[in-house]
Amino acid sequence: MITCFTDILRAGCLQKDTCHVMTDLLSQLKDAKLDSTQCVTTNGRQKFLCFTKTVDSKQWVVAVTDGIDVWSQEFDEEGLEAQRDLSGVASVESFLSRFKNAFSSSDLAISRIGTKITLAIGKGSSAIELDLFEAKAAEKKSELQFLLFNLAENNGQLEKQLSMANQQIEVLKAQKGSGSGLSALADLSPKKGQGQAKPKTTKVGMSVINPSSRKRKAATGVVFE
pLDDT one-digit tens code per residue, 170-197: 888 888 877 655 555 455 555 555 555 5
Average pLDDT, the chain: 78
List, in sequence order, the alpha helices (H) in 135-192.
137-188
* 1 lies in some domain: no
* 91 lies in some domain: yes
Residue 35 main-chain phi, psi, to 5 deg? -70, -25
CA 150 distance to own-chain centroid: 19
User: CA-CA distance, 26 to 23, in Å (whole number)?
Assistant: 5
Give pLDDT, residue 8. 36
* 117 lies in some domain: yes
pLDDT one-digit tens code per residue, 28-48: 898 888 988 899 998 888 999
- Number of folded domains in the chain? 1
**Residues 162 and 150 sit within 8 Å (Cβ to Cβ):** no
Q: What is the pTM of this model?
A: 0.60
* 188 lies in some domain: no
CATH of the domain at 107: 2.170.210.10
pLDDT one-digit tens code per residue, 62-117: 999 999 999 999 999 999 999 999 999 999 999 999 999 999 999 999 999 888 99
* 215 lies in some domain: no
**Residues 51 and 37 sit within 8 Å (Cβ to Cβ):** yes
* 162 lies in some domain: no
Give pLDDT, residue 154. 75
Order across the sheet with 128-134: list the strands.
37-43, 46-55, 59-65, 70-75, 128-134, 116-121, 108-113
* 84 lies in some domain: yes
| Boundaries of domain holding 82 | 26-136
